Amino acid sequence: MRLTHVGGPTLLIEVAGWRILTDPTFDPPGRRYDFGWGTGSRKVAGPALQPAELLPVDVVLLTHDHHADNLDDAGRAFLPSVPVVVTTASGGRRLGARGLAPWETTVLSAPGRPDVEVTATPARHGPPLSRPVAGDVVGFSLRWEGQDDGVLWISGDTVPFAGLREVAERLRVDVAVLHLGGVRFPVTGPLRYSMTGRQAARLTAQLDARVVVPVHYEGWSHFVQDRPAVERELAQAPDDVWRRFRWLPMGEPVEVGHQEVPPALGTVL
């Protein structure tokens, strides 16, 4: 499996002959975007790679289409160049894409390549009762032939809630891609809209994932926790938790292969 972090939530996944891109965001920095209900953010860093450098892309996995930090204008313009887009059920109706509710599955098929089973997983993009405001979001589980060590799981923008415990119970996760940043907005005070480093450590313990790849912690002004802030909280976790985190260099492909990890996790934060 080869992963390339393009920036923000945008990750190129190359596996079993497939090129799969998550949440395309390609706008240059500088502009402020309105997220609705008095919230918004300014993009402060551009992508490490441009759309033309990533083609061909077989599939886009879009955790949600209604926030520009997950699908900006250039990302939206990129979608017609991709044969398959998989997103939320409501986003599927808006975009004319394959829409999935949590725990629904679609299969990616192409000649000469193994099928990839894509299952939407639960996500909640904010505190309890925030779904009518924050909108629908999903994560994605990817499984393909010969993948014996567990699934590749992408969390999507989410905070800890019962749905993530269900993910840990139902899936054997080998590689977890976690959307972090600890998002907060002045208008809603201390309420969080994505995971912190401390919460990511707890979730890693629940999942017992072999490798954890952080994304979506930089590039926008509404992120409260950048990489150093996440690492400070991870440093308080047991060694066999924080050692699983793999920070990818921007724009450079990285092979995520087997590496030794403890057979079981100890106490968590």
* 87 occurs within a structural domain: yes
Surface-to-core class of residue 24, CB atoms within 10 Å of its CB (0-12 exposed, 13-18 middle, 19+ buried): buried
Residue 132 above 80 pLDDT? no
Distance CA 202, CA 198 (A): 7
Q: In the chain, which residue ranges form alpha helices assigned H by DSSP?
A: 51-54, 73-78, 89-95, 131-134, 162-170, 197-207, 227-234, 239-242
- C-alpha distances (whole Å) from 211 to each of 14, 32, 150, 176, 254 are 16, 34, 11, 6, 13
Surface-to-core class of residue 255, CB atoms within 10 Å of its CB (0-12 exposed, 13-18 middle, 19+ buried): exposed
* 263 occurs within a structural domain: no
Residue 261 above 50 pLDDT? no
Span 7-33, average pLDDT: 97
Secondary structure string (H, E, C) spanning 120-167:
EEECCCCCCCCHHHHCCCEEEEEEECCCCCCEEEECCCCCCCHHHHHH
* 151 occurs within a structural domain: yes
Domains of the chain: total: 1
Q: What is the average pLDDT score of the chain?
A: 91
Span 248-252, average pLDDT: 97
Lowest average pLDDT, out of 72-76, 104-108, 127-131, 260-264, goes to: 260-264
* 262 occurs within a structural domain: no
* 104 occurs within a structural domain: yes
Identify which has the larger pLDDT, 245 or 187. Answer: 245
- List the CATH number of the domain containing 110: 3.60.15.10
The answer to whether residues 120 and 103 touch, using CB atoms and an 8 Å cutoff, is: yes
* 171 occurs within a structural domain: yes
The answer to whether residues 158 and 195 touch, using CB atoms and an 8 Å cutoff, is: yes
Residue 171 above 90 pLDDT? yes
Residue 156 domain boundaries = 2-252
Contacts of 146 (CB under 8 A, 6+ apart): 16, 114
This prediction's pTM: 0.92
Q: 36 is written with which tokens?
A: 């609705």
Span 167-178, average pLDDT: 97
Distance CA 64, CA 155 (A): 12
Distance CA 180, CA 230 (A): 8
Neighbouring CB atoms inside 10 A of 266's CB total: 11
Identify the helix (H) or strand (E) that includes residue 34.
strand 32-36
Distance CA 74, CA 234 (A): 34
At residue 258, the pLDDT reads 56
* 197 occurs within a structural domain: yes
Distance CA 211, CA 224 (A): 24
pLDDT-derived band at 186 (thresholds 50, 70, 90) equals confident
Distance CA 225, CA 123 (A): 20
* 265 occurs within a structural domain: no
